[in-house]
Structure 1
Amino acid sequence: MAGFKRYVEVGRVVLVKNTSKIAVIVDIVDHKRAVVDSPIDEVARQVINYNDLILTPIVMDLPRGARSGIVAKKWKAQEVEKKWQATAWAKKFETQKVRSQLNDFERFAVMRLKKQRRNEVRVALAKA
């Protein structure tokens, strides 16, 4: 069994709970808080409690206490946004966002398509 790999460290990309926004740990304040910053203007540079963060497997090469400009340059150079978009989390959040903006008819169409897919699966399983 593999050991634990997601440590709180400078450069760790995190997901801020209840917002589905990503940021990076810039500095560690103490055993309960860290300074986070996001160059894509999702999260302002601030101190956040670890309980409000979810650690992602993405880690940036970042010096401790880096200023916002350096964070932005490294973020772009290391293609963190591209890595994030490839994760299942990002895809799930995008799906939730699209679904929340559907109108009544579009929700109805989604329901019909799901029923159609379910029927096709049933038929395929019955043949097997």
Structure 2
Amino acid sequence: MTAEPTILVGVWNRNRVENATFEGGWMIGRLDDAGLDLGIWESNFKRFVEVGRVVLLRSGPNSGSIAVITQIIDHNRAMIEGPTTGVPRQSFPFKHITLTPLRVTIPRAIGSGALKKVLEKEGTAAKWESSAWATKRAAIEKRRTVNDFASFKVMLAKKQRTDVVRKAVAKAKKA
């Protein structure tokens, strides 16, 4: 009668599993009866630099726009383009972009027209605009551009709302 394989949680080290306890699981390894590691991985990282990854630009004239990685140049830079958002094809450093969870399936070095068709077909811009991340960015930007009088009106509306809630709670406590 053979025993069930032992499951260890640890880190990958020279093709073997070291016993360790880490929350979040760096790597799950199974040892068979002979003690050989079968190497089943569980990664903590979900967003990778890859062709087709939708990115958010953090600097430059198109800051705040989304684009797609069309080609990886080296470990510091990638070619990006956003034909639906007005971002021209250009080399861009990784330190000035943020990877988003969105991804489109495209071949490396795809042309502008074909990329635009793929983005429109998959509705990437609409997916981005409906995401919580984009919604929060839009709200922050709107708050940032509000003038003094508009912020005063917002403050008055908040006071009125608080007063209505306070009166409703007091009425509910009495009853």
1:99 matches 2:143: yes
Report 1 or 2 for greater relative contact order, CA contacts < 8 Å, sequence distance ≥ 6. Answer: 1
Q: Which has the larger radius of gyration?
A: 2
Q: Contact 1:14/1:22 (CA < 8 Å) preserved in 2? A: yes
Q: Distance in 2 between matches of 1:49 and 1:124?
A: 54
- The answer to which of 36-45 and 53-62 deviates more is 36-45
Q: d(CA) in 2 for partners of 1:36 and 1:107?
A: 38
Structure 2 residue 44 is the aligned partner of structure 1 residue 3: yes
The worse-fitting range, judged by mean Cα deviation, of 102-111 and 53-62 is: 102-111
Deviation at 1:40, TM superposition (A): 2.0
Q: In the superposition, relative to structure 1, how do residues 77 and 90 fare at CA in structure 2: closer, same or farther (>3 Å)?
A: same
What percentage of aligned pairs have identical amino acids? 41
Residue-by-residue CA offset, 1:85-128 (whole Å, 9 max, x unaligned)? 12122112221333344333221111223344556677889989
- Structure-1 separation of matches of 2:57 and 2:167: 43
Label 1:3 to 1:124 Cα distance change in 2 as closer, same or farther (>3 A): farther
Distance 1:118 1:50, change over 3 A: farther
Q: Deviations over 1:18-71 (max 9, x none)?
A: 411100000000111100000124321101111011000000011100011111
Contiguous gaps of at least 5 residues in structure 2: 1-23, 25-42
TM-align CA RMSD: 2.4
TM-score of the pair, normalised by structure 2: 0.64
Residue type of the alignment partner of 2:47:
R
Counterpart contact for 2:70–2:78, Cα < 8 Å? yes
Q: What TM-score do the two structures reach when normalised by structure 1?
A: 0.84
Change (3 A) 1:108 1:37: same
Structure 1, unaligned runs of 5 or more: none
**Comparing 117-126 with 61-70, which one deviates more in the overlay?**
117-126
Higher helix share: 1
Aligned equivalent of 1:90: 134
The match for 2:154 is 110
